[in-house]
Amino acid sequence: MSTGQPNIVFTRNVVTADPFPNTTQPFDVWWQAVNDSNEDSEGFTDMLVITTSEEDCPDDANSTVVYDSQDPQYNTNPQDFLEGPLAARATGNVMKTNVGPFSTAGWYRLTVTLDTGRSNTTTYACIQISQGSDGSGSQ
């Protein structure tokens, strides 16, 4: 039975291109969507919010936002979040954006929302950013 609305969901978990991000280097965040319906979807916008976190990455309202793709203060590449139209049952391109570096070592929650304003499907990844070398040999 058709609902008349596309259903945009994740086909790939949120991951970082670098499995060991650190405080001195920016890194890529990747995700991928699929239209899990019998309805074609027009183009849409995704959203990435990165917050400081604890090890188990709870959704904590007191966490500090260090990146928000909808805020020009953080995001200078809004085109990184624009997805093209997806035909029914089609898989979208792997989305990727470059973020960081973040100056504080610790745990971070990377929350991606697909198709903001319609599907609003959300998932997250919990990553640890290690202290990087400043190039002088000390850490």
Does 139 have pLDDT greater than 80?
no
CA–CA distance, 86 with 44 (Å, rounded to integer): 9
Does 138 have pLDDT greater than 50?
no
CA–CA distance, 92 with 53 (Å, rounded to integer): 29
Q: Residue 60: which pLDDT band, with cuts at 50, 70 and 90?
A: confident
Number of domains in the chain: 1
Domain ranges, residue 62? 8-129
More confident residue, 54 or 70: 70
In a domain? residue 139: no
In a domain? residue 117: yes
In a domain? residue 135: no
In a domain? residue 99: yes
In a domain? residue 115: yes
Residue 48 sits in a domain of what CATH number?
Answer: 2.60.40.10
Straight-line distance from the first to the last Cα atom of the chain, in angstroms, rounded to the nearest whole number: 59
Average pLDDT of the chain, as a whole number: 90
In a domain? residue 61: yes
In a domain? residue 1: no
Contact assessment for residue 46 and residue 111, using Cβ atoms and an 8 Å cutoff = no
The 10s digit of each residue's pLDDT in 3-43 is 578 999 999 889 999 889 999 999 999 999 999 999 999 99
Percentage of the chain surpassing pLDDT 90? 73
